Amino acid sequence: MPRKHKPKKYIKHRFAYLVFLACIRLIRLLPRRVGMALMRDFARLYYQISKQNRQRTIQHLTLAFGNEKSREEIRRLARDVFRHFAVAGVDAIRIPQMIEKGMDHFVTAENFHIIDNALAEGKGILVLTGHFGNWEVMGAYVAQKGYPIKVIGAPLDNPWLDRFLVDMRNRAGYANIMRGDGARAIIRALKSGHMLAMLIDQDTKVNGVFVDFFGKKAHTAVGPVVLAERFGAPIIPVFMRMKPDLTYHIECFPPVPLTWTGNKEKDILVNTQKCSDAYEAVIRRYPEQWAWMHRRWRKKP
């Protein structure tokens, strides 16, 4: 049952959910490219009217690239960020249709032998990924290829949207573990040799430390490092990016080279920094495909 809300909040969430359902039905009825063109136009409009998100995106891009890019380049990049997520959202909505047609029509992948070799060790895998490219389509692709994958996700504030997202993930083949109350499920997954996807590229209410991210201190979750130390599972960065032809490519990277010295606090800090470096390296290559509107540097050390 949906969580209880105050009447005003209930009406707001219910209305948002009904609008969302109407948009989903429209997008799924339209040809893929037509839906993308429609959402591209919506992104241009939203960029103009959403002052807060526009300014926040420009501010964060300036923090990261202010010494490398001109003001106009940063504004152009900000528009590209809005456009990317609007277009990628079409495919996130159309995952059932993508599965029906065959994910290989839309996705290519490289270096999956890294995952195969790690799974053969039987300790599970901590997949380091983020709000980049199209992470929902990536989860569906990996699951459809027969890999045992689960994803840890924070519940959405809107209970109907949250239930829709969880159901979509489950139907696509990758189980959702709710952040905050899924400790037993996480332990079972790793002990069973599963892939456990974790997105720690946002400032959330979890245990974390401050590490460098684009030259600024960012509060970063320590979950993957703590689990890697406890269970011996490797942390493997895996990211999906959208290509110019509107298909996707998944790239698996070698495991993060973790350092264990016996000094727990220092090890957590050093290894979390290595995870942050893995994020930054990918985002620098394709900055328009990361969620810059998020307040990544909200907490201060």
Q: What pLDDT does 180 receive?
A: 66
pLDDT for residue 127 is more than 50 = yes
Question: Rounded to a whole number, what is the distance in angstroms from the first to the last CA of the chain?
Answer: 39
pLDDT band at 241 (very low <50, low <70, confident <90, very high): very high
- Contact (Cβ atoms closer than 8 angstroms) between residue 217 and residue 301: yes
**Whole-angstrom Cα distance, residue 225 to residue 264?**
11
**Whole-angstrom Cα distance, residue 174 to residue 196?**
10
pLDDT for residue 301 is more than 90 = no
Look up residue 132 and give its amino acid: F
- Contact (Cβ atoms closer than 8 angstroms) between residue 131 and residue 290: yes
pLDDT tens per residue across span 26-64? 999 999 999 999 999 999 999 999 999 999 999 999 999
Q: What pLDDT does 20 receive?
A: 86
| The residue to which tokens 């152009």 are assigned | 76
Domain ranges of the chain: 7-289
**Whole-angstrom Cα distance, residue 78 to residue 69?**
12
The rounded mean pLDDT for the chain is 93
Q: What pLDDT does 1 receive?
A: 45
- Contact (Cβ atoms closer than 8 angstroms) between residue 289 and residue 243: no
The share of the chain scoring above pLDDT 70, in percent, equals 97
Query: Mean pLDDT over residues 69-94, rounded?
Result: 96
Residue of higher predicted confidence among 174 and 298: 298
Q: What pLDDT does 166 receive?
A: 84
Q: Which of 120-129, 146-155, 267-276 has the lowest mean pLDDT?
A: 146-155
Q: Find the helix or strand (DSSP H, E) in which 242 lies.
A: strand 235-242
Which residues 6+ apart lie within 8 Å of 1 measured at CB?
Answer: none
pLDDT band at 159 (very low <50, low <70, confident <90, very high): confident
pLDDT for residue 179 is more than 80 = no
